[in-house]
Structure 1
Amino acid sequence: MARHAKIAKGDRVSWRSHGSTAIGIVKRKLTRRTRAAGRTVDASPQQPQYEVESEKSGGTAVHKPQALRRAKRKGKN
């Protein structure tokens, strides 16, 4: 099974950002060329990307699946 198959809308994920770890929620899976997070994203069904919203800043970003890791839900140890 492909690693990115485990990531879905609503999942809490983490990624490396400017030397630290950011955490956010997956807003949507992108599977075609589209505008997201202020730029054009070259996504496809074979190479999807994910739009995520940062918990800290509220900003959105787009990441390839290999850059994302599932994170624990808030309040879980």
Structure 2
Amino acid sequence: MAKDGLRKGDDVSWNSHGRKVTGKVRKKITGRTWAAGRTVDASEEEPQYEVESNKSGRTAVHKPQALHRKGKAS
């Protein structure tokens, strides 16, 4: 399991434009790459996560501190 406790398939929530969004972790990003329509500057020390919204199916990329695993106290 990742040091921050997140891994592919985890149910998570995050805030987007003042609303709570729920979805799943698609992948952990640990290098510079193109994801969710933008360049993501991530590293092993500062990973980011690609997540997919349950409602819209759209993807987004967030730092681990912005994501809350379902069932885990925030």
User: 2:4 and 2:16 mapped to 1: Cα distance?
Assistant: 23
What is the identity, as a one-letter code, of the residue corresponding to 2:41? D
Q: Taking every aligned residue pair, what percent have the same amino acid on both sides?
A: 64
Determine whether 1:30 maps to 2:29. Answer: yes
Match of residue 75 from structure 1: none
Structure 2 stretches lacking a partner, 5+ long: none
1:1-77 alignment runs, 5 A limit:
5-72=4-71
Aligned residue pairs total 70
TM-score (norm 2): 0.89
The structure with more helix, counted as a fraction of residues: 1
CA shift at 1:58, angstroms? 0.3
After TM superposition, the runs of 4+ consecutive aligned structure 1 residues lying more than 6 A away are: none
CA shift at 1:5, angstroms? 2.2
How big is the alpha-carbon RMSD for the aligned residues of Structure 1 and Structure 2?
A: 1.4
User: 1:37 and 1:19 mapped to 2: Cα distance?
Assistant: 20
User: 1:12 and 1:42 mapped to 2: Cα distance?
Assistant: 24
